[in-house]
Amino acid sequence: MSSSVLYDVNRRLLVSLFVPVLLFMGVVAPSQAYANKAPEQANVKAVYVCSDNKGFDKWRVTNHGSSVVKVNWFTKGMPGFEDSGYEVLQAGKSNDVFSVKSEKRDDKVTLTIKDEIYSKTLTTAVTDRKACGEAEQRGKIQFSKPNTSAVEGDTIKIAVERVGGKKGTIEATICFCSGSAKAGKDFVDAIINVSFKDGETSKVYELPLVEDNQAEERENFTGLLQGDNEILGFRRSMILFISDND
């Protein structure tokens, strides 16, 4: 009998003897103790998802079953960039797994999820970097500058830019929060829909300011960009100042 086979037999024997003792002592619950007993019944799925971290591939591993499952994971692709790890998958929950990404953009990497005890393959997934590359090329929407100003009764110009790519259409919205300047009293309470079509990289929107015929100090309010996190850039807020004209 080979050493690897002997090791596996001994490990299974230890598990079969040790688990009942833990159950008797109340150290572990039955669902925890036997979560990995029948890997053919484990309902684990993995998918490749786009990662903001350029040095790592990102995978989402979900346990669709009703018991905790402990797994080992491995990636295989470009030599020298294989990776591995261990996860405890709670019932009905997902874990995000990060593996080292190779320098070759079109390298196809396979993730394999195996049961911890029996080393049975539960699921596999393959990278889809092309799709993520297209998403990255769409770029991100952000304000062109951190602040701007205008005179009451005029319109205030809000410059928005698209950085990091210009492929396809991306959309977001701008909402406004009162500061010393109040919505409906000092500026029109509105939401601006921002849309960049394929190839577009800059936009200027206008928001009407209210003329109140009262002498006032300089006032301000805030513009906030809202949308999917993956298409919003660094500068997501902007301070807008209103100067009095009385």
pLDDT by position in tens, the chain (length 246):
444 444 444 555 554 555 454 444 554 444 444 445 455 567 999 998 877 777 788 899 999 888 899 999 999 887 778 899 999 999 889 999 999 887 665 668 899 999 988 889 999 999 876 666 544 578 899 999 999 999 999 999 999 999 888 888 899 999 999 999 999 999 999 999 999 998 999 999 999 999 887 778 899 999 999 998 888 999 999 999 999 886
Residue 213 and residue 173 in contact, taking contact as beta carbons nearer than 8 Å: no
Max distance between CA atoms of the chain, in angstroms, equals 96
Task: With residue 18 as reference, give the H or E element that holds it.
Answer: helix 3-25
DSSP state of 76: E
Q: How far is 132 from 59, CA to CA, in rounded Å?
A: 13
Q: How far is 183 from 181, CA to CA, in rounded Å?
A: 7
Beta carbons within 8 Å of 228's beta carbon, 6+ residues apart: none
Task: With residue 4 as reference, give the H or E element that holds it.
Answer: helix 3-25
Measured on CA atoms in the order 127, 109, 99, 66, is the torsion positive or negative?
A: positive
Check residue 139 and give its pLDDT.
87
Q: Are strands 170-177 and 219-226 parallel, antiparallel or unpaired?
A: antiparallel
By the 10 Å C-beta count (0-12 exposed, 13-18 middle, 19+ buried), 210 is classed as middle
Q: Are strands 44-49 and 56-63 parallel, antiparallel or unpaired?
A: antiparallel
- Predicted model pTM: 0.47
Check residue 134 and give its pLDDT.
46
Beta carbons within 8 Å of 94's beta carbon, 6+ residues apart: 60, 61, 62, 63
Nearest Cα to Cα of residue 157 among 165, 166, 149: 149
